[in-house]
């Protein structure tokens, strides 16, 4: 897992509680994405539904971004 000195286990461990919270947020994002996707299939001309689906995708990717941020901030 460690390659080129990029292993930061302390940052990973400190980021786990926040990643868990983001995981819950990403579950909400999945639900919003499913609803938004079905609404965009029904009425593809609505721009607000497209923005809702894009926001849901950002919520789904939140745990990955949180863990990357935590591991980049804490040195080995």
Using H for helix, E for strand and C for coil, what is the string for 17-54?
HHHHHHHHHHHHHHHHHHHHHHHHHHCCCCHHHHHHHH
pLDDT of residue 4: 53
Q: Round to whole Å and give the CA distance between 22 and 2.
A: 24
In tens, the pLDDT along 36-55 reads 888 878 877 777 777 878 88
pLDDT string in tens for the chain (76-residue length): 444 556 667 767 777 787 788 778 888 888 888 888 888 788 777 777 778 788 888 888 887 887 788 777 776 6
């Amino acid at each position: 897992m460690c390659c080129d000195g990029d292993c930061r286990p302390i940052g990973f461990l400190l980021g786990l509680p926040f990643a868990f919270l983001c995981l819950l947020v990403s579950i909400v994002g999945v639900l919003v994405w499913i609803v938004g996707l079905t609404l965009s299939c029904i009425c593809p001309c609505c721009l607000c539904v497209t923005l809702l689906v894009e926001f849901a995708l950002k919520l789904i990717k939140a745990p990955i971004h949180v863990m990357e941020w935590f591991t980049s901030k804490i040195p080995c």
